[in-house]
Amino acid sequence: MEKNTLVQVLSALSRQEWRELDGWLRTPLHNKDPEVVRLFAYLQGQIQAGQTLPEAPEVARMALLPGRQHADHLHHVSSYLMKAVTDYLLWAELNRQPLSERQHRLSEILRRRQLGKQAARFQLRAEEGLQRQASRGRWYYELHAAIQQEKVQLQEWQNTLQHHNLQPLLTAQDLRFLVEKLQTGCLLLSQKAVSAREYDPGLLDMLTQLPEAHPYLQEPAVALYYHGYRALSEPDGEPHFRRLKMLLARYGDLFKGDELRNLYLLAVNFCIRRINRSERAFLREVFELYQSGLAQGAFLEQGQLSRFTYTNIAQAGMGLGEFAWVAQFLHEHKTYLPEDIREPVSQFNLARLYYETGESGKALACLLNIGYDDTVYNFAAKTLLAKIYYARGEWNALDSLLDSISAYIRRKKVAGYHRDSYLGFVKIMRRLLSADLSQRAQRAALREKIAAMKVLAEREWLAGLVG
């Protein structure tokens, strides 16, 4: 039953949501059919026990009373359960919203019911509650504009609009538009970095012409997205990067979740571009961003740290020789890695740290005791092993390892960038093993070969071996 939407939705519920949904279905206001409860109870037991479920009609047939197995009836019960589940999810999502947003929604409902005085009371509470909110992300500007719009509609309903100041609405709408458009512009730039798709940016170019002294740029969200967009879209975006980095340090606490993470990634991606252009000074910049982002919880996704972020942070620290800091980071943040990859990812990064600090024996022990399902990590681990074997003069082990890299590429049918990059690494390593590096001509030929390859894993390390 892997493809059944009902089972997929139920499988994603938390324990608290299972309990709430059980109570929801047993309330006559939401469900009057006991067979819906029976089907729900059966699915709950099977899913929470980790059982493989058959297709939808058979599930219903198992769960319901004998004699009620007509296909139309079974479909009806499953469909009604699905509707009840989605109704619950909508209710639960609304109740997770901040109080100010729920009060705003209630104000709208009361106004539509011709209860203007009561609507105005809840609208005022919503506005006051919003101003007490610490968050100043996109959500804040969307709700602020909606509240200002509701105030105007209340004035229209009360026939007092002629006395109402519309400037707060105009300003709120401008700020909402600026935040939404600039945020989308930053998303567009991120996609363009990995996609050839072209877009009409609309008014984005006009928005970037705002003078630096414009009052709207005093709003943290507007300023962050404005400078983030200009940093990544302009050839000389460094002044905007500097401003973005300063604003993140000052106002990062005003943002949460995905929005905070994406703001940090704007600055990180700017640094990575410059590092890829051999501007090593930006390695320190990105390291400082990682440090401040960690302090603000910016890189956590649902309480977890991705393996790529974990590795990138450690790599930045090691590149600067911040080995003590990296060792502490690897230990303290290991528990934030997803459980199924925690050991291999943490051991791989620990191996790199040992290698960088000259403890090749410990690095070797880490690498030989773990396996990697992920292709990128598999290649990274094998190339690190190759570097260790080369440094220790373990030529037979190195020869076998190079064979295993080539075999892995063939077996996994690795294509594109990774295939060319790591086959190139194997080719250069074999040339190194057969070359006499005391001969200047052979070193020069190898340098030329390394420089000529379009993609090559560990290019800098290989170039360093031939001088």
Give the DSSP letter string of 198-228.
----TTHHHHTT--TT-GGGGSHHHHHHHHH
DSSP 300: E
Instruction: State the Cα–Cα distance between residues 416 and 374, nearest whole angstrom.
Output: 16
Instruction: State the Cα–Cα distance between residues 272 and 269, nearest whole angstrom.
Output: 5
**Alpha carbon of 382 to those of 62, 316, 365, 426, 450: distances in Å?**
50, 20, 13, 11, 19
Q: For each of the chain's 467 residues, which pLDDT tens digit applies? A: 444 788 889 999 999 999 999 999 999 999 999 989 998 998 898 888 876 665 544 555 555 555 555 556 777 888 999 999 999 999 999 999 999 999 999 999 999 999 988 999 999 999 999 999 888 999 999 999 999 999 988 888 777 767 778 899 999 999 999 999 999 999 998 888 777 778 888 888 888 888 888 999 999 999 999 999 999 999 999 999 999 999 999 999 999 999 999 999 999 999 999 998 889 999 999 999 999 999 999 999 989 999 999 999 999 999 999 999 999 999 999 999 999 899 999 999 999 999 999 999 999 999 988 877 778 888 999 999 999 999 999 999 999 999 999 999 988 888 888 889 999 999 999 999 999 998 999 999 999 999 999 999 999 999 999 97
**Alpha carbon of 399 to those of 82, 252, 395, 403, 453: distances in Å?**
58, 50, 6, 6, 22
Please name every residue paired with 304 in a beta bridge, in sequence order, or none if there are none. Answer: 301
**Alpha carbon of 428 to those of 388, 419, 432, 461: distances in Å?**
16, 14, 6, 11
Which residue from 376, 457, 392 is spatially nearest to 422, judged by alpha carbons? Answer: 457
- Residue 382: the pLDDT is 93
Q: Is the C-alpha dihedral spanning 455, 458, 462, 464 positive or negative?
A: positive
Instruction: State the Cα–Cα distance between residues 185 and 191, nearest whole angstrom.
Output: 10
Longest dimension (CA), the chain: 94
- Residue 66: the pLDDT is 53
Instruction: State the Cα–Cα distance between residues 265 and 247, nearest whole angstrom.
Output: 14
Q: How many residues does the chain have?
A: 467
- Asked if 322 and 361 touch (Cβ cutoff 8 Å), the reply is no
- Residue 53: the pLDDT is 60
- Asked if 248 and 223 touch (Cβ cutoff 8 Å), the reply is no
**The Cα angle at residue 304 between residues 379 and 363, in degrees rounded to 5:** 35
**The Cα angle at residue 363 between residues 358 and 365, in degrees rounded to 5:** 140
Structure tokens at 196: 């050839």
CB under 8 Å to 18, separation ≥6 — which residues?
A: 44, 48
Please name every residue paired with 301 in a beta bridge, in sequence order, or none if there are none. Answer: 304
DSSP-derived 3-state class of residue 272:
helix
Structure tokens at 76: 């009806």
- Residue 276: the pLDDT is 85
- Asked if 404 and 372 touch (Cβ cutoff 8 Å), the reply is no
- pTM passes above 0.85: no
Residue whose tokens read 């730039």? 189
Instruction: State the Cα–Cα distance between residues 37 and 349, nearest whole angstrom.
Output: 49
Instruction: State the Cα–Cα distance between residues 126 and 133, nearest whole angstrom.
Output: 11
- Residue 3: the pLDDT is 47
CB under 8 Å to 101, separation ≥6 — which residues?
A: 126, 143
DSSP-derived 3-state class of residue 461:
helix
Around Cβ 81, how many Cβ atoms within 10 Å?
Answer: 25
Which residue from 142, 237, 249, 257 is spatially nearest to 186, judged by alpha carbons? Answer: 237
Around Cβ 260, how many Cβ atoms within 10 Å?
Answer: 23
- Asked if 396 and 390 touch (Cβ cutoff 8 Å), the reply is no
Around Cβ 211, how many Cβ atoms within 10 Å?
Answer: 7
Around Cβ 275, how many Cβ atoms within 10 Å?
Answer: 17
Instruction: State the Cα–Cα distance between residues 466 and 450, nearest whole angstrom.
Output: 10
Instruction: State the Cα–Cα distance between residues 331 and 350, nearest whole angstrom.
Output: 9
Which residue from 154, 73, 166, 161 is spatially nearest to 119, judged by alpha carbons? Answer: 154
Q: Is 455 exposed, middle or buried (0-12, 13-18, 19+ CB in 10 A)?
A: middle
Structure tokens at 31: 């469900």
Which residue from 260, 261, 285 is spatially nearest to 271, judged by alpha carbons? Answer: 285
- Residue 40: the pLDDT is 92
- Asked if 254 and 134 touch (Cβ cutoff 8 Å), the reply is yes
- Residue 104: the pLDDT is 94
